[in-house]
Chains A and B, each alone.
Chain A
Amino acid sequence: MSLKYRAAPKDDLIWHDLDSMTLLFHRPSGITHMLADPAPAIMEVMQDSSLTASEIALLLIAQFEIESAADAENIVLARLEELSGLGLVARVSG
């Protein structure tokens, strides 16, 4: 079964857009993260659901009306692993 991911709870996060990047303050750790596209969009489409990289790629393609890219899932997976390392998304078993 594909690995699923879940974003950190909304109440733990404070978002702030700058010109070219997005700031994300993570309340539990007190760490400020600076995210470049597409990481903020990935977290936005995840909302409160547990999703696989492939499901997230489909949501991104639909929401941002981008053409389906063959490697979209791999890009999303790489970003999810980075966000997971930062504690901003969690791997969900099952």
Chain B
Amino acid sequence: MAEMHQILLKIGPAAFRIASAWRRPLEELEALYRDFPAPTDNSVDFTVRLEPEKPWRRFIRPSVHIGGDFWLPDAAPLPLGQGLLAAEMGMNLQMALGWRRHLLLHASSVEKDGKALIMTGLSGSGKSTLSAMLAERGWRFMGDEFALLDLETGDLVPFPRLISLKNKAIETMQQVVPENRFGPEMKATPKGDIRHLIPPTAAVARMDEPARPALLLFPRFGHAPELRDMGQSEVFVRLTQASTNYVALGEAGFHALTRFVDRVPTKAMDYQSGEQAEALIQSLWSKLP
């Protein structure tokens, strides 16, 4: 077997080994995760492997196949220039398919005063961009992709991965964040133009500190600003759809999700700009107990 390079990463409660046939994606990862600690005892939860699709593709028009403990058989390989994206997608895949220690929701989250704001919704809802923006305006960033709910306490556990900015969100964040917190821009990937953003230092320093879920939003970008009530039944169904491991967790997942729906006030939020969203969020946040 050809030589593999590797690095270990600890992000919140999860530890990863990223092994790659090429050095370059790992060098990019190392630079972007420079503030993150290494796993304490070198043990990892998941391995992600970036390998050539065929042995000769290591050198000739190199293309990266994502493998690991969990993998999708039909995942299309990416060009080597998008190796960083492949590593990030590989880590997402391991979490989505393999994580069992928390109830996992496709959601972004930020924290203030020990209370967490969780935002979930379809791709394009703006949840990732909103979390990145709020993280530059006094909130602690907890994650832009997965919200991890503790099965015992119901607390939200941080998972402050690199923030994956897409298309217009890249320019929006470039206006407020210094250049040295960005990864390379990857044009025309299967997910559009992608640029990764390193979370603020405080998000990494406090990535072992959970927070109590205090507000759940279903943001929707591109509609006149409005907050709407949502029925518990609708919220429950949409959260089961937003969870990658609700079914796998069985009874523990049922208890965690019903408790969450019972306790956490929820609104649908339409908005057309970050400023509008921030004002709507502030109006809700100031009324929380």
Contacts and interface: CB of A to CB of B under 8 A. Distances in A.
Given A14-B254, A25-B251, A27-B251, A20 B240 contact: no
Interface string A15-58: 01011110101010010101000000000000000000000000
Interface stretch (B106-114, B119-127, B231-239): B231-239
B235 to A, nearest CB: 8
B254 A32 contact: yes
B237 A30 contact: no
Contacts of B237: 34
A34 B258 contact: no
B289 interface: no
Mostly, the B contact residues are helix
Contacts of B236: 18, 23, 34
Given A30-B247, A34-B237, A18 B232 contact: yes
Contact of B258 (A20, A23, A27, A30): A23
Interface residues of B, number: 12
Contacts of A19: 231-233
A20 B254 contact: no
Contacts of A27: 251
Interface of A: 14, 16, 18-21, 23, 25, 27, 30, 32, 34
30 contacts: A14-B251, A14-B254, A16-B254, A16-B258, A18-B231, A18-B232, A18-B233, A18-B236, A18-B261, A19-B231, A19-B232, A19-B233, A20-B231, A20-B232, A20-B233, A21-B233, A23-B236, A23-B254, A23-B258, A25-B251, A25-B254, A27-B251, A30-B247, A30-B250, A30-B251, A32-B240, A32-B254, A34-B233, A34-B236, A34-B237
Given A14-B251, A19-B232, A23-B258, 10 more contacts: A18-B231, A18-B233, A18-B236, A20-B231, A21-B233, A25-B251, A30-B247, A30-B251, A32-B240, A32-B254
List 7 A-B pairs, minimum CB-CB distance, nearest first: A18-B232, A21-B233, A19-B232, A25-B254, A30-B250, A16-B258, A18-B233
